[in-house]
Structure 1
Amino acid sequence: MNDSIQKYLSQLEQKPLFGHRVLVTRARSQSSELVKRLADLGGEPIEMPVIRTVMPSDLSQIDTALQEIAHFDWIVLTSVNGAEFFFQRLGELQLDIGEIEQVKIAAVGPKTVQVIEAKGVQVDLVPLSFRAEDLIEQLLRMVEPGQKVLLPRSNLAREILPIALRQVGCIVVEVDLYETQLDTGDAERVAHYLEQGTLDMITFTSSSTVQNFVKVMKSIHPDIQALLSTTQLVCIGPVTADAAIKRGLNVAAIADPYTMEGLIQAVLRVAKQSSKKL
């Protein structure tokens, strides 16, 4: 064997995820960072995006809100997707970002903040952790009754935030800025890995990825618990983990913090605990 190949293989075997095949279920448009990190750590990432995000076919609701953006007191962006679609549509409507200067911005997660600040817009509130409950706790200390709050979100977003804001007297405008849709991905190949017991871990980055993965897999193999019996599930946060548990699935690890890096560290913890190799 060529010395350089031998050296490469030797180095690869020393990496913490060597011998571990890890499924990535998040949308393909957002999976590249996670896939690269898993590969750099010696793992074999398998992509099966079970969701895709698209703008809704009817944009009248969001367009009306954006054209009146200066009349809002707060804009709350709870995801990277939300921030990206928000600024994309602002640009498509040729609206001046300067209109947002007098509006306070709340954002969830460092990646969401990066997207916003890259547009030259200041973020006024970032919760210490990345759950809706923590955002609510801090936001309720800052809003006042009668203030107008814009929530541009996914069509599948939880209702806990708008309910809490309305209870303290805020005027809340909810708009479906993007839709989260089912994507079947490479389901047959993944089902084969699971049936053979050769898929070590599955990463879930949202409740939608859990829901859609289970739906797709059940269409191939109805007994989802048996199908996943030799595979460890790693979730990005407690809300995502709850979605898995409610569907009868066992969660091996939950990221802390609830970020992509936290998810990777959770994968590493699971790999360290497992002696299974390909």
Structure 2
Amino acid sequence: MQGVPLHELLRGVRIAVTRAGERGGPLADALRRVGATVHEIPLTRIETLDLAPLHAAVGRLAQYDWVLLTSVNAVEHLARVVHEHGAEAAMATRRLSVVGTATAQACEAREWRTPTVQPDKTQAEGMVDVMAERSDIDGATMLYPCAAGARDVLPDGLRALGATVDVVPCYRSGADPDGQARIRALVAAGALDLVTVAAPSAVDALLDALPPEHASRLPVAAIGPVTARAARGAGFPVKLESTAATMEGWVKAIVAAYRP
């Protein structure tokens, strides 16, 4: 990349950023700064579930030793219920186990306790591995607010270590029909070189939007091994798999894929 101006690194590369709302904007802006032509097209939207179970859990928050958080959406839904209960003091003293830099930053923004556990490996398996090294997990009680349909790796792994884990689904990712229509039109016109996908739900929505013959030749940039595995299973060619859970790391991986 020596000698190439920063704003020229991805010149001519047409990328669709599929993250929704505020989470997609910084990634789109960063890609534009390195020269990419970017279309912001959310393929999923967050739908809040019945929060009665989460209200019940927050009502007994002081009984939990740990709170497990694996997404910004989980933090936002928990924060909403904590505020409604006036349970900020109890939340501030819970031990936190957090996956991902963005999730940790969302906790910090709410002045919650600094995460006790934040694994370098940014997926559920990494959290289980780190928790397995601790002496305060056997017999501990844990609250896990999460997405509907979240993998069982985390709660099952911690239960095997002797913890009691209350899994409380509080949101789900649903397809965004408008976004699906927009990306379908761009792909049909041959106007995209790459699509970013940040979760298996985004892969599902992308697959639903496209005819199979288009899906099989549309390269994707996946963040993390779980999303990359979902993309490959759906038939998408994975141009790159970013191992960094940050926006900056993802952009660097995309640049490296086009300018090795």
Q: Same fold (TM over 0.5)?
A: yes
Spell out the pairing of 1:182-201 with structure 2 (5 A cutoff): 182-201=175-194
Deviation string, structure 1 residues 133-192 (Cα, Å, up to 9, x no partner): 111101122243221111011113111111111122211101012221111233334223
User: For residues 175 and 128 of structure 1, do their structure 2 counterparts lie closer, same or farther at Cα, with a shift above 3 Å needed?
Assistant: same
Q: How far 1:94 moved relative to its partner?
A: 3.6
User: For residues 113 and 169 of structure 1, do their structure 2 counterparts lie closer, same or farther at Cα, with a shift above 3 Å needed?
Assistant: same
Residue 104 in structure 1 maps to residue 82 in structure 2? no
Partner of 1:159: 152
Say if 1:51 and 1:208, in contact at 8 Å, map to a contact too: yes
Gaps in structure 1 of 5+ consecutive residues: 1-10, 274-278
Say if 2:184 and 2:209, in contact at 8 Å, map to a contact too: no
Residue 114 in structure 1 maps to residue 105 in structure 2? yes
Say if 1:156 and 1:180, in contact at 8 Å, map to a contact too: no
Partner of 1:24: 17
1: CA distance, partners of 2:38 / 2:226: 24
2: CA distance, partners of 1:78 / 1:259: 14
Partner of 2:240: 253
1:144 to 113, 137, 161: 137
Deviation string, structure 1 residues 207-259 (Cα, Å, up to 9, x no partner): 11001110122xxx2x2xx3145542110111100001111221111112232
Partner of 1:85: 77
What amino acid maps onto 1:36 in structure 2? D
Residue 66 in structure 1 maps to residue 62 in structure 2? no
2: CA distance, partners of 1:252 / 1:117: 33
Partner secondary structure for residue 203 of structure 1 = strand
Say if 2:131 and 2:137, in contact at 8 Å, map to a contact too: no
Partner secondary structure for residue 112 of structure 2 = coil
TM-score w.r.t. the length of structure 1 is 0.85
2: CA distance, partners of 1:230 / 1:144: 46
What amino acid maps onto 2:247 in structure 1? M
TM-score w.r.t. the length of structure 2 is 0.91
Residue 126 in structure 1 maps to residue 113 in structure 2? no
Partner secondary structure for residue 149 of structure 1 = strand
Residue 244 in structure 1 maps to residue 231 in structure 2? yes
What amino acid maps onto 1:152 in structure 2? P
Partner of 1:267: 254
2: CA distance, partners of 1:96 / 1:189: 42
What amino acid maps onto 2:34 in structure 1? L
Partner secondary structure for residue 126 of structure 1 = coil
What amino acid maps onto 2:253 in structure 1? A
CA RMSD, 1 decimal: 2.0
2: CA distance, partners of 1:96 / 1:69: 8
Larger Cα-atom Rg: 1
Q: How far 1:45 moved relative to its partner?
A: 1.1
Gaps in structure 2 of 5+ consecutive residues: none
